[in-house]
């Protein structure tokens, strides 16, 4: 990662790798290009693994007809809601519990149990409770995000340097001021460290929820396509979700840079 030259080269190699993968996919699945080696039937490879050209044309179709926007929008809203509610809840609960040692000691085993439980399994229950609409997907995402954020906040409050704490108290900080000026900022640095994880999990909650039962969203599209063995549409959906996740991740990075100005980053000198 020295000069511009080596960075360009890195990008070139990465793109070549991607192109190579798609080419291999195309060559291996196209019914007439290769003699059938593994599958007895020439069309079988395409049936199981799809064909990249058809996958792309399906993606193009979605965007040209505009059909996809509604589904993307639903998935996005579910993800963002789950992320926001889970994060707020985790921060609030974490701050409170870290300052209430008795409650923390009492709740400790239950929190551990709730965290250890594979919470995706709650999805059907949420559907019974909240119906097939957005609410049940948001609820699933919240249970996934909440614990990550909660544990990080809890840790962040515990790890505040005792000297900084003593100093703030000597400067006259009330318990409320301590919360706002010391514990919260310290916890936020931990929360931001976990943000990439938690936005990813909010997304998982939304998609899995849609997949298991809904009438809208990208997960629903994939589920539908699977129902009729339309493997190309399934792959198109997977590619779309991946791109979507990358965009979310990138947005989080922007947030992080914006809010975590105070954190030292490696090698901050300017190039002359």
Partner 1 sequence: MKAVLERGGAAALALEGITCSFAGAAGEPGYTAVREATLVVEDGEFVSIVGPTGCGKSTLLNVAAGLLAPSAGSVHVFGQPLAGLNRHAGYLFQADALMPWKCALENVVAGLVFRGAAREQALETGRAWLRRVGLEGFGDRFGHQLSGGMRKRVALAQTLALDPAILLMDEPFSALDVQTRVLMENELLDLWSADRKSVVFVTHDLEEAISLSDRVVVLSAGPETHPIGEYAIDLPRPRDVSEIRLLPRFIELHGRIWRAMKSEVLKGYARQRQ
CB of 167 to partner 1, least distance (A): 4
Instruction: Note whether 262 binds partner 1 by CB under 8 A.
Output: yes
**What's the DSSP call for residue 182?**
I
Does residue 40 sit in helix, strand or coil? Answer: coil
Dist. CA 196–CA 51, nearest whole Å:
32
> C-beta of 265: minimal distance to partner 1 in Å?
9
Closer to partner 1 at the Cβ: 40 or 264?
A: 264
Which of 5, 267 has the CB closer to partner 1? 267
Length of the chain in terms of residues written: 272
Kindly tell me which residue out of 95, 182, 199, 207 binds partner 1, with binding defined by CB under 8 A. Answer: 182
Contact 232, 58 (CB under 8 A): yes
Examine residue 266 and tell whether it contacts partner 1 (CB under 8 A): no
Closest residue by Cα to residue 155 from 204, 192, 118? 192
**Cα four-point dihedral sign 139, 116, 242, 49:** negative
* Inter-residue contact 143 to 119 (CB < 8 Å): yes
**Choice between 182 and 252, CB closer to partner 1:** 182
* Count of residues in contact with partner 1, rule CB under 8 A: 23
13: which residues sit within 8 A by CB, 6+ positions away? none
Of 178 and 245, nearer to partner 1 (C-beta) is: 178
The sign one gets for the Cα dihedral 99, 105, 107, 109 is: positive
Of 17-25, 27-35, 44-52, 183-191: span binding partner 1 (CB under 8 A): 183-191
Q: How far is the CB of 162 from partner 1 (least distance, A)?
A: 9
- Contact call for residue 121 and partner 1 (CB under 8 A): no
Give the count of beta carbons closer than 10 Å to the beta carbon of residue 30.
15
Q: For Cα atoms 21, 18, 256, give the angle at the middle one, nearest 5 degrees.
A: 140
Tell me how far apart the alpha carbons of residues 31 and 97 are, in angstroms, rounded to a whole number: 60
152 binds partner 1 (CB under 8 A): no
Site for partner 1 in 220-259 (CB under 8 A): none
Binding letters toward partner 1, positions 186-225, x by CB under 8 A: x-xx------------------------------------
Which residue in the set 261, 266, 270, 272 belongs to the binding site for partner 1 (CB under 8 A)?
261
Q: Is 11 in the site for partner 1 (CB under 8 A)?
A: no
- Residue 272 in the binding site for partner 1 (CB under 8 A): no
């Amino acid at each position: 990662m020295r000069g511009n030259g080596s960075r360009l080269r890195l990008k070139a190699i990465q793109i070549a790798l991607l192109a190579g993968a798609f080419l291999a996919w195309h060559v291996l699945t196209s019914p007439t290009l290769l003699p059938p080696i593994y599958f007895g039937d020439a069309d079988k490879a395409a049936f199981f693994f799809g064909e990249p050209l058809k996958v792309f044309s399906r993606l193009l179709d979605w965007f040209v007809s505009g059909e996809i926007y509604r589904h993307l929008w639903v998935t996005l809203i579910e993800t963002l809601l789950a992320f926001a509610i889970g994060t707020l809840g985790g921060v609030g609960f974490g701050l409170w519990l870290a300052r209430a040692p008795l409650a923390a000691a009492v709740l400790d085993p239950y929190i551990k149990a709730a965290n250890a439980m594979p919470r995706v399994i709650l999805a059907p229950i949420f559907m019974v409770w909240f119906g097939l609409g957005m609410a049940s997907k948001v609820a699933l995402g919240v249970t996934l995000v909440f614990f990550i954020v909660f544990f990080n906040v809890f840790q962040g409050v515990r790890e505040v340097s005792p000297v900084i704490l003593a100093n703030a108290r000597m400067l006259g900080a009330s318990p409320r001021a301590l919360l706002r000026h010391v514990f919260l900022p310290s916890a936020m640095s931990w929360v931001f460290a976990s943000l990439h994880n938690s936005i990813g999990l909010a997304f998982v909650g939304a998609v899995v929820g849609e997949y298991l039962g809904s009438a809208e969203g990208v997960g629903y599209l994939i589920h539908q396509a699977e129902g009729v063995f339309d493997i190309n549409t399934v792959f198109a959906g997977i590619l779309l979700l991946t791109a979507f996740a990358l965009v979310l991740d990138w947005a989080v990075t922007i947030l992080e840079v914006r809010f975590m100005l105070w954190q030292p980053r490696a090698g901050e000198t300017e190039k002359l």
